[in-house]
Amino acid sequence: MTDILVVTAHPQMAHSRVTRQLMLAAAKLPAHRVHVRDLYALYPDYLIDVAAEQACLRRASLLVWLQPIYWYGMPPLLKLWLDEVFAFGWAYGPGGQALRGKHLWLVASTGGPAESYAPDGYNHFEFEAFLPPYQQSAALTGMHWLPPLLLHGAHQVDTATLQGHIEALADKLQRWPDWASDGIQPHASNPAHPSTGKAGEPPASASASASASTTVPSTARPAR
């Protein structure tokens, strides 16, 4: 049973620096533990096999979205995946219990450097301001939101920083669900026994971690 499902989407994976290397690092991990799905390679015609995707999700306790941040959100195929796979009656709504108790982890990279995500930066908002749609998507389906792993300034990041970031991802994936050293206690992901919170209510740990997202800043500027 695969514990971790990594869903990655990059419209031009061949030209990607960060996402591609992260994907390759995840793919190196044991296949029975980590299953990687490259959406643009699987579905070049945007015809998503919903049944297959749902089957993969069923087996996993951790869903990882590995993506570049496009216009403060997801690349289009990932959004389509979200729209079609998280179906009414399956992921949410009456009888929609399939994702309850699982965990959602965003691993994203941005073009803008960390300091651009500030009220005086050109992105005008802290990066956290763009997270509610992700968080709420998790919440609505009963998933637990984990602190995202972000890399800002992806185009200028130097190799050492990038390498460190890649190793951080590989390490966390390998240790899952043992993330106690990061101060995160994942919920027991057994959908037969739903977590104590009511559906639709964000679990306690998620709200604590929302403001403490782990970021890897670009080296030239001080950490924000």
According to CB under 8 A, which one of 31, 41, 47, 52 is a site residue for other proteins?
A: 47
Q: How far apart are CA 173 and CA 165, in angstroms?
A: 12
CB of 199 vs other proteins, minimal distance in Å:
5
Nearest 5°: CA angle at 190, between 182 and 28? 55
Indicate whether 89 belongs to the interface with other proteins (CB under 8 A). Answer: yes
* 200 burial via Cβ count (<10 Å: 0-12, 13-18, 19+): exposed
Q: With respect to other proteins, which residue has the nearer C-beta, 29 or 199?
A: 199
CB of 21 vs other proteins, minimal distance in Å:
26
CB of 56 vs other proteins, minimal distance in Å:
18
Beta bridge partners of 171: none
CB of 47 vs other proteins, minimal distance in Å:
5
Backbone angles phi, psi at 164, to 5 degrees: -60, -40
83's enclosing H/E stretch is: helix 76-85
Indicate whether 185 belongs to the interface with other proteins (CB under 8 A). Answer: no
Q: How many residues bind other proteins (CB under 8 A)?
A: 18
CB 65 within 8 A of CB 71: no
Take residue 69 and report the two structure tokens written for it.
Answer: 């941040």
Which region, judged by CB under 8 A, interacts with other proteins, from 20-28, 143-151, 175-183, 199-207? 199-207
Which region, judged by CB under 8 A, interacts with other proteins, from 87-95, 121-129, 148-156, 182-190? 87-95
CB 7 within 8 A of CB 78: yes
According to CB under 8 A, which one of 30, 44, 94, 119 is a site residue for other proteins?
A: 94
Q: How far apart are CA 90 and CA 109, in angstroms?
A: 30
Q: How far apart are CA 16 and CA 1, in angstroms?
A: 30
Which region, judged by CB under 8 A, interacts with other proteins, from 27-35, 68-76, 78-86, 116-124? 78-86
According to CB under 8 A, which one of 201, 207, 208, 220 is a site residue for other proteins?
A: 201
CB of 118 vs other proteins, minimal distance in Å:
28
Which region, judged by CB under 8 A, interacts with other proteins, from 6-14, 117-125, 152-160, 196-204? 196-204
Residues in CB range of 18: below 8 A, 6 or more apart: 68, 109, 151, 154, 157, 162, 165
CB of 85 vs other proteins, minimal distance in Å:
9
Residues near other proteins (CB under 8 A) are: 45, 47, 83-84, 86-89, 91-94, 136, 140, 198-201
